[in-house]
């Protein structure tokens, strides 16, 4: 039993971690808005159908009311002409038309408030959808900012974790060492080739220096002429 609980807990943990890793708040918020749009479209289509039914029932009620008025006028004219049987027949038709009118009016009295209530619910749903859409846009912007911050933090963290000054010093030391090695090789080459010795011997063959010339001139000027 303990083994089963451990395995079950592990599987649940893996599933939860997988769900969290694929969750995208911005994407999920847009999906909520899309689902609301679908629900709104269905509700609006239902409202249109109900409104069509109401309009048809209203038309039937108005037609029945018009027939009742017509038969009432017919009954009056029949009595005025002395035809009581025709008047009775017209009054019967009037009663039938009025019954139909009243039945339709009763159904409309129940249906029309439902239509008004449905309209109100759709308006509220549309307002809620617009509010959530605005929040979704804000959420998307906030998520993009957060992602940009993460990228910047990762970049800065990578730079901060490196000793850039030390790295540059190592590079400079490496170049200085290369220059020192080159100078040493050149000096060694001069020694091997005899150039250094030649330079020393050539220095012996040079004439007096400026200082030597100056001292000689001073002595010459200080010596009295004969």
Single pTM value for the model:
0.49
Please tell me the predicted confidence (pLDDT) of residue 156: 72
Compare 50 and 20 and report the one with higher pLDDT: 50
The two tokens of residue 115 are: 């239509």
Domains of the chain by residue range? 24-152, 179-222
Does the pLDDT at position 17 exceed 60? Answer: no
- Residue 189 exposed, middle or buried by CB count within 10 Å (0-12, 13-18, 19+): exposed
At CA 185, angle to CA 184 and CA 186, rounded to 5? Answer: 90
Please name the residue ranges forming H helices in the chain. 2-22, 25-80, 84-160, 164-193, 195-204, 210-222
What are the residues whose beta carbons fall under 8 Å from the beta carbon of 108, sequence distance 6 or more? Answer: 54, 57, 58, 61
Task: Tell me how far apart the alpha carbons of residues 112 and 114 are, in angstroms, rounded to a whole number.
Answer: 5
Measured over the CA atoms of residue 63, residue 67, residue 69 and residue 70, the dihedral's sign is: positive
Does the pLDDT at position 153 exceed 90? Answer: no
Q: Of 90, 38, 99, whose CA–CA distance to 65 is shortest?
A: 99
Helix axes 164-193, 195-204, angle to 10 degrees: 70
Q: What 3-state class would DSSP assign to 83?
A: coil
Half-sphere exposure of 192 (CA within 13 A, CB side): 6
Residues 160-170 have pLDDT tens digits of 556 667 777 88
Compare 29 and 88 and report the one with higher pLDDT: 88
Residues 116-139 have pLDDT tens digits of 888 999 999 999 989 988 888 888
Compare 51 and 211 and report the one with higher pLDDT: 51
Residues 63-108 have pLDDT tens digits of 999 999 999 999 999 999 999 999 999 999 999 999 999 999 999 9
Reported confidence tier of residue 190, pLDDT bands at 50, 70, 90: low
Does the pLDDT at position 211 exceed 80? Answer: no
Please tell me the predicted confidence (pLDDT) of residue 185: 77
Q: Is there a contact between 108 and 123 (Cβ–Cβ < 8 Å)? A: no
Domain 24-152 fold: Helix Hairpins (1.10.287)
């Amino acid at each position: 039993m303990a083994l089963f609980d451990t395995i079950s807990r592990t599987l649940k943990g893996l599933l939860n971690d997988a769900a969290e890793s694929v969750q995208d708040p911005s994407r999920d918020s847009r999906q909520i808005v899309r689902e609301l749009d679908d629900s709104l479209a269905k509700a609006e289509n239902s409202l249109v159908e109900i409104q069509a039914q109401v309009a048809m029932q209203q038309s039937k009620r108005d037609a029945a009311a018009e027939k009742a008025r017509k038969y009432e006028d017919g009954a009056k004219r029949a009595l005025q002409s002395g035809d009581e049987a025709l008047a009775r027949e017209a009054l019967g038709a009037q009663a039938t038309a009025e019954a139909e009118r009243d039945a339709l009016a009763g159904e409309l009295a129940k249906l029309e408030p439902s239509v008004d209530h449905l309209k109100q619910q759709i308006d509220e749903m549309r307002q809620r959808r617009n509010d959530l859409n605005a929040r979704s846009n804000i959420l998307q912007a906030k998520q993009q900012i957060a992602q940009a911050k993460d990228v910047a933090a990762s970049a800065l963290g990578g730079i901060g974790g490196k000793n850039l000054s030390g790295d540059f010093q190592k590079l400079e030391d490496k170049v200085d060492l290369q220059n020192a090695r080159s100078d040493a090789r050149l000096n060694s080459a001069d020694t091997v080739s005899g150039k250094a010795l030649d330079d020393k011997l050539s220095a012996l063959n040079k004439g007096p220096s400026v200082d030597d010339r100056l001292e000689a001139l001073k002595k010459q000027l200080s010596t009295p002429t004969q």
